[in-house]
A and B are shown apart, each in its own frame.
Chain A
Amino acid sequence: MKVKIILTLLFLLFIAPRSLHAQTNYSDAFLQYNLKSEDYSKAHDAYVVKRSAYLKFKSLQSEKEAKDATVLMLQTRDDVVVYYLMAVSAKMAETKGIPDSERVADQKYIDDEIAFFKDHKIKIPSAGTLQDLVNDSKLASDRFTFDNRNVFYKILFSISNGKILDLRSRIGDNLTTVKNKVNTIRDETRPEYQFSADKISAIDRFVFESENKLARADDKEVTATDTKVLREFTVDEYTKRLGVLSEMQQLLKEASSFLKEIVNQIKSQ
């Protein structure tokens, strides 16, 4: 009894935290995804060989071997999709800036897809013939081609959008801090702490330009996330919206350079 209690405590202290941490760590999830991809590659090679043998000999033995190879290949294929979705989920969990509502909706998409392919994987061994396996593969193919891809690229866009939104938010915070400091300097009554009117005017111009750049960046954000005419989030749609986010990134670079110039103006006479 004492031994069981001690082992339980050790598991809770060392093993359980690590397993929980692994689920939320993107690098570990990505590593598991790559390992599953290698397993799938090997299983697919074996499937190709056994299929050829069956098509050549049409014997019971070759049919059995082809069936076993096909089952293993389909199961590893489902694992690849599941671990890929888990890696995407881990990446989304690590990415800041994604709105909570969007994060929740995306996570639901991921969970639904993971549940489908896990259930699909469990059902595969129950197939009685090779044709049953072909039908099971067709089921997974339809799900992957029409549903999964939309989910994949939508979540990838959410990750990219979250990055740029995080940068936009932090630049906005810095601009607010700078404006507060400039107002403090403007309100100074001590002569040695006061700036000349020209200096204050130059700083105000840089603040104004920074605000303009951020406003234009916000416009780009609205354009990139517009879903009014969106039917499918294909790879082309993903690339097009990523281009808009790149324009927004350029505007944020310019706004950041103006903030640096404001600080330089404040630090120099």
Chain B
Amino acid sequence: MKTVKDYLKHPKKFLNALLGRPNPVEIPEGQVTYQGNPTSPEASLGAQPHVDNSTKNVSPDDPLHQDLAKASSLIKTISAKLPKVALPIVPKTETPQDPQISQVSEIIKPNKVKKLIPLIIGLVILLVLVLVGFFAYSYIAKLRAPKENPIVVTNPSPTPIEQEQTQPSIYANDPDILKLQEDINVLDREVVGAQLRESTLNAPVLDFNISF
């Protein structure tokens, strides 16, 4: 079966195929024909050893006849090249025709991949060892480094008044001491608030300068 690429390469063949005209049979180089003239396809068709009789009665100008003749000659050519023992048909996977893809496919061949696996495993192990060593070194360096007190910035707060924490003695609830304390506190308030000067009792201001 011809692909669109083939038709694009040979637009004449494509045009003939659309118009129903016969295309000349291409014989690959180095292929041996039954007749001496390898360039004449009609001669090669005429050199077929076995031709169906039904086709002989048909006019050679008939396109159908020509197609049938081509097909029969092609089948005979192929059958001559095939081995005599029939083998099971294995479906061929289409391989990409791109040269770069073909190079990659050559690199990733099963044998080469098998050779690369130990190398990859070695690199992974080496990378893991390097990472473990790095973390272990940083951890040990952190342990050996002298500890610095972190600077804690706190909000300003009022200075607490330091009061002596004293425990009450056995006389803390003594009635005599409590009464004495009350008397002393009352008297202390009086001493602090005492006004010695009698400001409201200043001598009266009177007019003694009487004259007529």
Contacts and interface: CB of A to CB of B under 8 A. Distances in A.
A141 interface: yes
B176 interface: yes
A192 interface: yes
Nearest to A250: B191
Nearest to A37: B204
A143 to B, nearest CB: 10
Contacts of A245: 196
A267 B185 CA distance: 15
Interface string A167-200: 1001100100110010001000000110100000
B212 interface: yes
Interface residues of B, number: 33
Would you call the interface of chain B mostly helix, strand, loop, or mixed? loop
- Most chain B CB within a 10 A radius of its CB, from A141, A159, A163, A267: A267
Given A249-B191, A268-B167, A268-B168, A256 B184 contact: yes
Interface in A74-116: 74, 77, 80-81, 84, 87-88, 91
A202 B188 CA distance: 21
B187 A171 contact: yes
Contacts, number: 119
A68 B190 CA distance: 51
Contact of A246 (B172, B185, B196, B210): B196
A134 B207 CA distance: 12
Contact of A260 (B167, B171, B188, B211): B188
B192 A253 contact: yes
A268 B198 contact: no
Nearest to B171: A266
A256 B196 contact: no
Nearest to B210: A137
Contact of A149 (B198, B201, B203): B203
Interface string A153-167: 100100110011001
A133 B209 CA distance: 12
B169 A267 contact: yes
Interface string B8-26: 0000000000000000000
Nearest to A155: B201
B183 interface: yes
Contacts of A149: 203
A64 to B, nearest CB: 13
Nearest to A261: B184
A257 B188 contact: yes
B194 A249 contact: yes
Given A84-B204, A87-B201, A91-B201, A260 B196 contact: no
Interface of B: 166-172, 176-177, 180-181, 183-185, 187-188, 190-192, 194, 196-198, 200-201, 203-204, 206-208, 210-212
29 contacts: A30-B201, A40-B206, A70-B210, A77-B206, A80-B204, A87-B201, A137-B210, A156-B198, A163-B196, A171-B191, A177-B180, A181-B176, A185-B171, A242-B196, A249-B191, A249-B194, A252-B191, A253-B188, A256-B184, A256-B187, A256-B191, A259-B184, A260-B181, A260-B185, A260-B188, A263-B181, A266-B171, A268-B166, A268-B168
